[in-house]
Amino acid sequence: MKAATTQGFGFNSVLVVEDTSKPKVGPKEVLVEVYGSSVNPKDWKLNQNLSSFTPRLGGIIKPFIMGDDLAGVVVEKGAKVVGFELGDRVYGMNMGLRTAACAEYAAIGEHQIAAMPNSLSFIEAGTIPLAGLTALQGLNIGKLKEGQKVLVIGASGGVGTFAVQIAKAIGAEVTGVCSDRNIELVKGLGADAVIDYTSRDYLSEAADYDLVFDTTSYFSLSLCESLLKDDGIYVTTVGGGKAYLNLIKDNIIFNRQKSKFVLVKSNTSDLNVLRKYIDEGQLKPVLDGEYPLEEIHQAFARSKTGRAAGKIAIQVKKVEQEALVASV
């Protein structure tokens, strides 16, 4: 099968698509023929580096395949799998080191996938799991309820575009933070108000949000204190070591306001919640662009700019093949 991995060692390594063997399934896993995947910052911040600095030892160590998100068709299942059958259209991810989803086939646990939304293509569904689950679980950690006010920092990004829509589906009053070029996009997702961070120092303002959801992980409760109610909650996606240090510091300093973080986990129940929102028309993926598997290096380059609006899709199989599967 074809799969995206790295070639070379260390800082001189490059992304390549090469032939490798199909993965074997465990007793509680399924083998998915992958049609759609996506690129997340984790892919180049962590996965690519792990692959680049892992010696192959003459082929003893298998290639480290890129990708977390997948959407495709179950073509094989382990002996103890009870929730899925061959031919099922599924989506999901594995938040171990990676799902190895940017490949024609991927093995994944049955508890980490769910039936795909009926209204989406494989390409669209393959952009959802990591970012969509992060958004859903982050809002749940922040205990967002109907009628409350939430500020979504990074509202035009992969996680942010999902967070705005899910918060609206919950019934919250949503304000999104983005640059001027993405204001109309965020408004179109349902935001009640949009702040252009390039022309307004919103961090210095006083506000009364119940929840500040920082999908960029660039900020901290210390910086967002004035934006929250006295008992408000700040939630971050903790993209690096500095964010973790900020969490520890803030939870020592602040008494009533809370600083929390989301470490996303894939599970069938939450994927089903996302599917329900999608099939009811309350949630949709926003695609910044779509790249064939052979051009994954360009998708990584786009993600590294930090300017992508929504998700970057990877087409693992061609659309005409997807249409054939969908008609079965």
- Residue listed under structure tokens 């307004």: 200
Mention the CATH class of domain 2-128+285-326: alpha beta
Q: How many helices (H) and strands (E) does the chain have?
A: 11, 15
Which among 147, 190, 152, 141 has a CA at the least distance from the CA of 170?
A: 147
Identify whether the C-beta of residue 300 lies closer than 8 Å to the C-beta of residue 38: no
Return d(Cα 162, Cα 134) in angstroms, integer.
9
Mention the CATH class of domain 131-261: alpha beta
- Residue listed under structure tokens 């199989």: 317
What is the predicted pLDDT for the residue at 49?
63
In whole angstroms, how far apart are CA 218 and each of 53, 199, 214, 224, 276?
A: 27, 18, 8, 11, 31
What is the token pair recorded at 39?
A: 């690129």
Residue ranges of the chain that CATH labels 3.90.180.10: 2-128+285-326
User: Tens digit of pLDDT per residue, the chain (328 long)?
Assistant: 999 988 777 666 788 999 999 999 999 999 999 999 999 988 877 666 666 666 654 454 566 888 999 999 999 999 999 999 999 999 999 876 656 999 999 999 999 999 999 999 999 999 999 999 999 999 999 999 999 999 999 999 999 999 999 999 999 999 999 999 999 999 999 999 999 999 999 999 999 999 999 999 899 988 999 999 999 999 999 765 566 576 666 666 665 568 899 999 999 999 999 999 999 999 999 999 999 999 999 999 999 999 999 999 999 988 554 444 444 4
Answer whether 0.85 is exceeded by the pTM: yes
List residues bridging with 117 in a β-sheet: none
What is the predicted pLDDT for the residue at 184?
98
Residue ranges of the chain that CATH labels 3.40.50.720: 131-261
